[in-house]
Amino acid sequence: MHWRDKALNHARKDAPDESVGLLLNVKGKEVYFACQNISNNSQQTFILDPNDYLKASKLGDVIAVIHSHPTTTLAFSESDKVNCEKHKLPWYIVDPRTAKWIYREPDGYVPELLGRRWIWGVTDCWSLVRDYYKKERGIILRDYDRSMSPEEFLENPLFESYAWRTGFRELRLDETLQEGDVLLMSIMHPTLNHVAIYLGDMVLHHLTDRLSCREPYSLWLLKCTAKRYRYVENS
């Protein structure tokens, strides 16, 4: 059976949940490897089980990601486009209702900085910082795997511990903020759970379940700010 037929059968079996699988190069042959979707919202999105990815990579080279859109339009969503870039692999989407396919390769896509929808681990506050530095300064910042959910992340936020590994140093109290500096904040929680970009009298940031925006660096945001960082790796 052709790998497309296997992927389509998998999509029909898992519907109305999104199916996900990997296309492998096994000794020169294209092989479909079905994976488990472990997302808590599996009818709208997918999270590929990392154990499945590990098993697949032992069988052959992973050459594409394949998933289905059983209830939504056969088109690449913002999340699909961002994740295609993140994984640096071609993506296929199949519609189990019509057996139609679409295909996309990484092309350097970066969503607009303003007005992006909040999606955990895809377009969230740290993603906005990374995309700002890529678009405005040509700097590629390291990304880090998030916890499975924002709730888990709150128990162990990564920003503070990973700042120095990403090329940032903490500013002293007597140092003045400069445009592009990163602000580490506590938003409605005791941990440092949010990052924003300083833009003079404004900040660029992306709060949970809101659109990314630019807004005044208000007294409230100033009070939420616990630490300030500057990118110095290439200076």
Same-domain status, 135 and 219: yes
Same-domain status, 94 and 132: no
Does residue 213 have an active-site annotation? Answer: no
In contact, 48 and 37? CB cutoff 8 Å: yes
Q: What angle do CA 52, 54, 59 make, to 5 degrees?
A: 95
Predicted confidence (pLDDT) at residue 175 exceeds the cutoff of 60: yes
Same-domain status, 74 and 169: no
Same-domain status, 91 and 143: no
Catalytic site residue from 125, 206, 213, 224: 125
Residue 160: per-residue pLDDT: 79
pTM, two decimals, is: 0.75
% of the chain beyond a pLDDT of 90: 76
Residue 176: per-residue pLDDT: 96
Same-domain status, 227 and 129: yes
Does residue 189 have an active-site annotation? Answer: no
pLDDT tens by residue, 200-220: 999 999 999 999 999 999 999
Choose one of 71, 104, 137: the last residue of a domain.
104
Same-domain status, 64 and 141: no
Q: What is the mean pLDDT of residues 58-71?
A: 97
Taking CB atoms within 8 Å and a gap of at least 24, the contacts of 141-148 are 141/166, 141/167, 142/166, 143/86, 146/120, 146/121, 148/47
Total number of domains in the chain: 2
- Note whether residue 149 is domain-resident: yes
Q: By three-state DSSP, how is residue 131 classified? A: helix
pLDDT tens by residue, 74-125: 999 988 999 999 889 999 999 999 999 999 999 989 899 999 999 888 899 9
Catalytic site residue from 35, 194, 206, 224: 194
CATH of the domain at 16: 3.40.140.10
Residue 235: per-residue pLDDT: 45
Residue span of the structural domain in which 65 resides = 3-104
CATH of the domain at 221: 3.90.1720.10
Same-domain status, 151 and 214: yes
Same-domain status, 214 and 154: yes
Predicted confidence (pLDDT) at residue 163 exceeds the cutoff of 80: yes
pLDDT tens by residue, 116-151: 999 888 899 999 999 999 999 999 998 877 665 666
Same-domain status, 9 and 96: yes
Same-domain status, 96 and 132: no
Same-domain status, 57 and 131: no
In contact, 230 and 164? CB cutoff 8 Å: no
Q: Which residues contact 153 (CB under 8 A, 6 or more apart)?
A: 146, 147, 193
Same-domain status, 130 and 90: no
- Note whether residue 116 is domain-resident: no
Does residue 205 have an active-site annotation? Answer: yes
Catalytic site residue from 67, 69, 205, 206: 205
Q: How many CA atoms lie within 13 A of 175 on its CB side?
A: 12
